[in-house]
Structure formats: structure tokens, C-alpha cells
């Protein structure tokens, strides 16, 4: 199953690969070179297909749990000052996605979208300390009566050139459902209340819509 954001790119890639294979078969005479070029084209196709995959996730709905919004590795767990929306201290948990990870962004909690904003910006590497405030990014806040407000931020990386955000203020958000997509390597930051019980450790691998990041 592929994400809808990849349909156009996948079709274009299929056309290019088909044309490339035909050209190699027609014009490359050396057998070893023909095989090498064909394998290279097929590997490229596989990489594009795996990047836009959208596997089904078994989300267990729970208003006391904050789920990971993306697949990847936990790279930051620290107390910070969140200066865009809350303007106070929060616990930040960041998940880094490599180009090989699923890049679907999912709602970490259910509730109502209280805030959604896009920020144009730079394309620093996703693990750079200033990427959270200077890179292209979106900020989304979801609120419910049990969990209160949770902010999460999609951040473009050095390879990510487009962030897709479906969240609209006032709409209902279902925990674990699609909130957006980030094209190529990137990261997502979560900002949680200081008394939140973090359930993950640094360098731990997590799955979007399934792994419990924190208990509120």
C-alpha cells in the first residue's frame, strides 16, 4: 500500500524506468554493462516504492498515551523552552527519520486541532540544533479533555523539500491517523507537559501510530 502523496512520483518513475530499460536493451552491447545498468534502474525503482509505502498500523486508542507520530529513532529527550505556541518550558522528544523509514506523519493523540501553521525556512540537516526553528516546518497542536494540549512539529531535513500537512484548525483528529507526509529524510519534534512520563529512551527505534512515547 502506497501513500497518496507518492502516486504521481511513482507513475513518473515507472515511465522513466521502463524507458531506461528499453534504451539499455537496445543500445548497450556489453552484457555486463547492460546487466549493471538494469539492476541500477531496478534498485532505484525499489527505493522510490519503499519510500512512499504506507503500512497499516494497529493503533490502540488511549487519551493517556502519546504515540510516536512517525517511524524512526529517538534522538532528543530534553527540557526546552517552546517559543512559538506555549511560550513556556516543555519536554521535547524528537524522532529522526532516515530516507529508508516510512515518512507518513500520524496524530500522536486524538482530539481537536487547536493550531496548525506552516513556516518556510532552510534545509539544514535534520539533527542540527537550529533545524527546529530555522528549517521549513509545520507546527500542529491537538487538544482533548484528558491529555490537554500536545504540540508536534514536522521538520524538513537536508533532503526533504516538501512537507505536507493535512491538519486544519477546528477539525477532529483521530489518534494514529494520517496527519501529513514529509518527502525524504527529516524529523518530528513533540512538546509535552513537564510532568509527562516519558516511555522511550535515546536511540530507541519507534513506529508511528503504535509506539508509546509518553504517558500523560
Question: Catalytic positions, please?
Answer: 186
Spell out the residues 6+ positions from residue 138 whose beta carbon is closer than 8 angstroms to its own: 116, 117, 118, 119, 153, 154, 163, 165, 167, 180
Angstrom distance (rounded) from CA 132 to CA 24:
44
- Asked if 145 contacts 131 with a C-beta cutoff of 8 angstroms, the reply is no
- Asked if 65 contacts 212 with a C-beta cutoff of 8 angstroms, the reply is yes
With cell 487519551, the residue in question is: 63
| Maximum CA extent, the chain | 68
Tally of CA atoms within 13 A in the half-sphere of 78 that contains its CB = 7
Angstrom distance (rounded) from CA 64 to CA 148:
10
Angstrom distance (rounded) from CA 190 to CA 68:
9
Angstrom distance (rounded) from CA 25 to CA 13:
18
Amino acid at each position: 500500500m502506497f501513500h497518496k502523496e507518492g502516486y504521481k512520483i511513482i507513475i513518473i518513475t515507472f515511465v522513466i524506468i521502463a524507458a531506461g530499460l528499453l534504451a539499455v536493451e537496445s543500445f548497450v552491447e556489453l552484457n555486463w554493462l547492460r546487466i549493471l545498468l538494469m539492476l541500477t534502474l531496478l534498485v532505484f525503482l525499489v527505493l522510490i516504492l519503499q519510500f512512499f509505502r504506507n503500512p497499516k498500523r494497529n493503533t490502540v486508542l488511549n487519551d493517556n498515551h502519546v504515540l510516536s507520530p512517525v517511524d524512526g529513532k529517538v534522538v532528543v529527550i530534553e527540557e526546552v523552552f517552546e517559543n512559538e505556541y506555549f511560550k513556556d518550558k516543555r519536554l521535547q522528544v524528537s524522532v529522526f527519520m532516515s530516507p529508508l523509514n516510512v515518512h507518513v506523519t500520524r496524530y500522536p493523540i486524538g482530539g481537536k486541532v487547536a493550531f496548525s501553521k506552516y513556516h518556510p525556512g532552510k534545509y539544514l540537516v535534520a539533527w542540527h540544533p537550529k533545524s527546529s526553528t530555522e528549517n521549513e516546518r509545520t507546527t500542529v497542536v491537538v487538544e482533548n479533555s484528558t491529555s490537554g494540549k500536545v504540540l508536534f512539529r514536522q521538520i524538513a531535513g537536508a533532503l526533504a523539500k516538501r512537507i505536507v500537512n493535512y491538519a486544519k484548525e477546528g477539525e477532529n483528529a483521530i489518534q494514529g491517523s494520517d496527519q501529513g507526509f514529509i518527502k525524504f529524510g527529516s524529523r518530528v519534534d513533540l512538546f509535552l507537559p513537564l510532568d509527562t512520563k516519558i516511555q522511550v529512551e535515546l536511540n530507541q527505534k519507534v513506529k508511528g501510530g503504535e509506539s508509546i512515547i509518553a504517558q500523560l
